[in-house]
Amino acid sequence: MEKKVAIFGDIHANLEALIAVINDARNRDVTDYVCLGDIVGYNASPSECIRIVRELDCVTVRGNHDHYCSHDENLDDFQPLAASVIAWTRRQLSDDDVFWLKNLPLRKAVSGFTIVHSTLDMPDHWGYVFDTLSAEAHFSYQMTTLCFYGHTHVPMIYEKNAGVRRCDPYNIKIAAGTKYFINVGSVGQPRDGNPDSSYVIYKPTSREIEFVRVPYDIQTSMEKNMKAGLPERLAQRLAQGK
């Protein structure tokens, strides 16, 4: 069987979205799973999502929400909406959940490629890459042909050859002499105007990368958020994909 790696992140405690993505990956005969972090935050099922990711036994890196939900650090620099949910999430997690999140690495080499939640140059500063200048800084630290990341919730490709080029997501075959910094989008809170969950399938033998969108039960996720007392705006944005 050909090796197929499902690479996903920014689950953000959205259980319905995570289950839909895993079911879709299994239907596509995925053999391995990799998680780019931010398992928790924003939505109502943090412990359940941690449990599922741990059961997959996949390589996982720590995202900023994973970090702040497992560390008693000041949230003054956070957007107020996000800070309120981090405080809520901290109260939902078991000691074992906290220990596991706290000990996730910030970056990791994985059999021919690298993963990080934000950027390789300063992974603990949680910088956002939306332009070629930020990508250029990252590429100085990328030693592998491929690096996958999340954090922005927007699927994107940055290619470095003679220069750095930003591309909208499309299925690609890895070209010799080119490095790729690939954002896989978000499972649990897409922000590119499409509410369907986003992830990537990497086929190392054929050197192909496929972007996948998966619909899920958004209404149930929204209702769970409201029942948990989370901000209404967070529920509404799921249906809007932003």
Provide the pLDDT for residue 80.
84
Provide the pLDDT for residue 81.
82
- Counting as low any pLDDT under 70, the low residues of the chain are none
DSSP one-letter code for 176: T
List Cβ neighbours of 221 (8 Å cut-off, separation of 6 or more): 14, 15, 16, 17, 43, 44, 235, 238
Q: 25: buried, middle or exposed (CB in 10 Å: 19+, 13-18, 0-12)?
A: buried
pLDDT digits (tens, 9 = 90+) for 111-165: 889 999 999 999 999 989 999 999 999 999 999 999 999 999 999 999 999 899 9
User: What is the domain class of 5-240 according to CATH?
Assistant: alpha beta
Map out the domains of the chain as residue ranges.
Answer: 5-240
DSSP assignments along 94-106, one per residue? -HHHHHHHHT--S
Instruction: Specify whether the CB–CB gap between 63 and 151 falls below 8 A.
Output: yes
DSSP assignments along 3-29, one per residue? --EEEE---TT-HHHHHHHHHHHHHTT
Provide the pLDDT for residue 114.
97
DSSP one-letter code for 87: H
DSSP one-letter code for 143: -
List Cβ neighbours of 120 (8 Å cut-off, separation of 6 or more): 107, 114, 138, 141, 142, 147
